[in-house]
Amino acid sequence: HYNFCAGPAALPEPVLVRARDELLDYQGRGLSVMEMSHRSAEYVAIAEQAERDLRDLLAIPDDYRVLFTQGGASLQFAAAPYNLLGRGGSANFVHTGIWGKKAMAEARHLFGAAPVAASSEANGHTAVPRQADIALTDDAAYLHYTANETIGGLEFDYTPEAVRPDGTRVPLVCDMSSSILSGPLDVSRFGVIYAGAQKNIGPAGLTVVIVRDDLLDRARADMPTLLGYKTLAEGGSMVNTPATYSWYLAGLVFHWLKHDIGGLAAMEAINRRKAEKLYAAIDASDFYANPIAMANRSRMNVPFVLADDRLDKAFLAEAEEAGLLNLKGHRSVGGMRASLYNAVPEAAVDALVDFMGDFEKRRG
């Protein structure tokens, strides 16, 4: 079976096998990682190794802190403005779809204003705004964008610059939930990166935040303690009980990326091949379609529709019979979506492309 779920998503098989082998008795310690105190030497070693491997993979500079927290990417929609608006100003947003809009709505809900610096609404979120179209407000404290819109399948092909009209550079805050670790990244371009774990990092329940040191002192005083980047950084992400098992599994995923795959450049090459194959199959047929501009087609989430949506149900049922799971599009948009995260092997895409060709032949 191949799992194309958008999240919680497939995990690499070697990671699951190792987790199974270590489930009852972690390396002869006589207990499961799930049963360990987060303060124990064994667990702290697991947690620290995970952070080291993530730092290696992304070449995270020394002046950035890595936080392992909870609440999902959705709680970061609140955490970012709480942490960065302590000196006033407003959070500016690039709106490219459903997730970016939710982030914006949360900032507006909490703090009243969340100016739109650029939006792809006019083109139906089929192409991201270009740099020249991004206009920050005079009071912008930071610029937020969503690197990859998981539902729309729209991905940035560049890293925006966040500059106010007066020329002042402000921090760039990025929701990377569905694209982090899909390839190399220049972390130094960002003030804050955050991601829910349940796509490319590990199981649900863990949220990773990467934040530049100099941004730890901009928090609002009225912030809930546990949302504080500084609090989490100073407490080693163990201010309260962390998602210990998810953190451990994330560590196994980082280890797999480093040692089995050979790093993020190698991972990116595989991801590019997978996405190109699937888009090529969609483009080669009048039976399948994807509306996104070539340059902004997501490598991780590939939405597509059938020319005749009355065949959607049959497509999904037959795909499932063929062992191709979770191809249903998001409930808000319908159609199909194949998520091709790191753990989805190239063979899965081959099987999907074969199935699509066969289905079209029979039903098209």
CA angle 246, 197, 316 (to 5 degrees): 110
Shortest gap between Cβ of 297 and ligand PLP (angstroms)? 16
Shortest spacing between CB 68 and ligand PLP, in angstroms: 14
Query: Toward ligand PLP, which CB reaches closer, 326 or 356?
Result: 326
Query: In angstroms, what is the minimal distance from the CB of 175 to ligand PLP?
Result: 5
In the complex, least distance from residue 22 CB atom to ligand PLP, rounded to whole angstroms: 25
Q: How far is CA 87 from CA 32, 78, 142, 168, 209, in A?
A: 45, 16, 11, 15, 21
CB 283 within 8 A of CB 309: no
φ and ψ of 163, to 5 deg: -130, 130
* Distance of closest approach, residue 182 Cβ to ligand PLP, in angstroms: 12
Of the pair 69, 150, the CB lying nearest ligand PLP is at 150
Active-site residue, 247 included: no
Q: Measured from the CB atom, is 75 or 349 closer to ligand PLP?
A: 75
Helices within 23-69 (DSSP H only): 41-58
Q: Is 308 labelled a binding residue?
A: no
Q: Which of 53, 133, 139, 175 is catalytic?
A: 175
21 labeled part of a ligand binding site: no
Asked if residue 331 belongs to a known ligand binding site, the reply is no
Q: Which of 99, 230, 274, 328 is catalytic?
A: 99
| Cβ-based nearer residue to ligand PLP, 146 or 244 | 146
Q: Is 12 helix (H, G, I), strand (E, B) or coil?
A: coil
Which of 101, 199, 274, 328 does the annotation list as catalytic?
A: 199
Would residue 217 show up in a list of annotated catalytic residues for this protein? no
Residue 361 among the catalytic residues: no
Q: Is 225 annotated as a binding residue?
A: no
Q: Residues interacting with ligand PLP, by CB under 6 A?
A: 7, 72-74, 99, 146, 150, 175, 177-178, 196
Q: What's 114's DSSP letter?
A: -
Residue 256 marked ligand-binding: no
Taking the complex as a whole, how short is the minimal distance between the CB of residue 178 and ligand PLP, in angstroms?
Answer: 4
- Closer of 58 and 356 to ligand PLP (Cβ): 58
Q: Determine contact, residues 191/171, Cβ cutoff 8 Å.
A: yes
96 is in an annotated binding site: no
**Nearest residue to 342 via CA among 151, 112, 133, 182:** 182
Q: Is 73 annotated as a binding residue?
A: yes
Instruction: Show Cβ contacts of residue 230 under 8 Å, excluding neighbours closer than 6 positions.
Output: 83, 216, 217, 219
Neighbours of 126 (CB within 10 A): 17
150 versus 237: smaller Cβ distance to ligand PLP: 150
* Of 123, 210, 136, 181, the residue nearest 299 (C-alpha): 181
Q: Sign of the CA dihedral 58, 2, 308, 151? A: negative
- Distance in angstroms (rounded) separating the CA atoms of residues 52 and 194: 17
- Interatomic CA distance for residues 143 and 89, integer angstroms: 11
Active-site positions? 99, 175, 199
- Known binding-site residue numbers for pyridoxal 5'-phosphate: 73-74, 99, 150, 175, 198, 240-241
Binding residue positions: 39, 73-74, 99, 150, 175, 198, 240-241
Annotation: binding site for L-glutamate: 39
